Amino acid sequence: MRNFQIKPVDGKLRPAIQDKIDNLNKPKGSLGELEALAMQLCLIQQDLTPTLAHPCHLLLGGDHGIEREGVSVSPLEVTWQQMINFSKGGGGVNMFCRQHGFALRVVDVGVDYDLSAVPGILDRKIAWGTKNFLYEPAMDEKQFDQAVETGAALVDDCASEGCRVVCIGEMGIANTSPSSLWMSLFCDIPLPDCIGAGAGLDTPGIRHKKEVLARALEQFHTLYPAPGTEDVIRYFGGLEMVAAIGAMLRAAERRIAILVDGFIMTACALAACRLYPASRDYMIFGHCGDESGHKKMLDALQARPLLSLGLRLGEGTGALCAFPIVDSAVRMINEMNNFQHANITKYF
């Protein structure tokens, strides 16, 4: 994997940013989380007047070999069917991108179906889905590196158009399974506490999912008694998930704000932070979803999500729903008058 040059945000501007926020014509601290968001965005961009220019959304598609074990209520073909739906503008992600002015890129990173001739889908296919990690690593080192590079290159494309905020979503049946395993291994949380219903498993289905993933984890520990971070990511991860990690790391390297979506994208953010802890400074967490374990993973990242609406669609939809709050934070620091210019007595 390439060596990303990610530095923690430079805090030298913090006093000046705080002074600007405190002198807006409002009681000190009265806009709460908006003030914290404005501070974060100013520090990311190293600018007292941050912007959210040309927001971009990356929708990454990939299939998972573990789906063959019946760990998802949705069949494998839903991945490619939804990818085609997205290309025609009919998905939830399309609606929210239109609503909030995001440029959408739908990208085939590892779908087990030929989408190369479908207009509106970028062909970046690395493999026709991953292997079944119940028996072997989901991907090899070359595929891992290629997925990281694919995600990074997509962010470079966005940056070339002036993008200052990127949102990332996924489409991949069964991808809550690798997310649960990453969560367990990276957060040292018992695996059963990390596994939920995914797209809608019933109680027997969840029990079966727990049994399958427990067997996979046992096999992993047999093969990797002292695993490194990349071992964990590569053994269980989906190609779309590793591409998302690459996108997050490149965005952080380029000081682009990252809107993080639900359970799966939070797992990717967790993995990115394990690889490069400084990348955490560039992440804004959109929401706490309805998938079991999501809140615990957010807590492990010391993340305060902006929304809690019971969402579990994926695709990046929860992060897109949170974007207006981020926009409000930017408008606050850029457009509100201050006490001096408004001729209002500063009373604190």
Residues labelled as active-site residues: 315
Question: Using CA atoms, how far apart are residues 121 and 15, in angstroms rounded to an integer?
Answer: 45
Question: What's the CA gap between 24 and 263, in Å, rounded?
Answer: 36
Using CA atoms, how far apart are residues 275 and 229, in angstroms rounded to an integer? 7
Cβ-based neighbours of 347, under 8 Å, separated by 6 or more: none
Locate tokens 């839903």: which residue?
A: 78
* Separation in Å, CA 345 to CA 30, 164, 340, 348: 16, 36, 8, 9
**Amino acid (1-letter code) at residue 6:** I
Question: Whole-angstrom Cα distance, residue 193 to residue 184?
Answer: 8
Beta bridge mates, 87:
none
Query: What CA–CA distance (Å, rounded) separates 253 from 265?
Result: 18
Tokens of 40: 């974060």
Helix axes 141-160, 229-236, angle to 10 degrees: 90
Distances in Å between the Cα of 213 and the Cα atoms of 194, 207, 218, 219, 269 are 11, 10, 9, 10, 21
Q: How far apart (Å, rounded) are the C-alpha atoms in residues 54 and 100? A: 11
Query: What are the respective helix, strand and coil percentages of the chain, to the nearest 5?
Result: 50, 10, 40
**293-319 as b/e: b if 16+ CB within 10 A:** bbbebbebbebebbbeeebbbbbbbbb
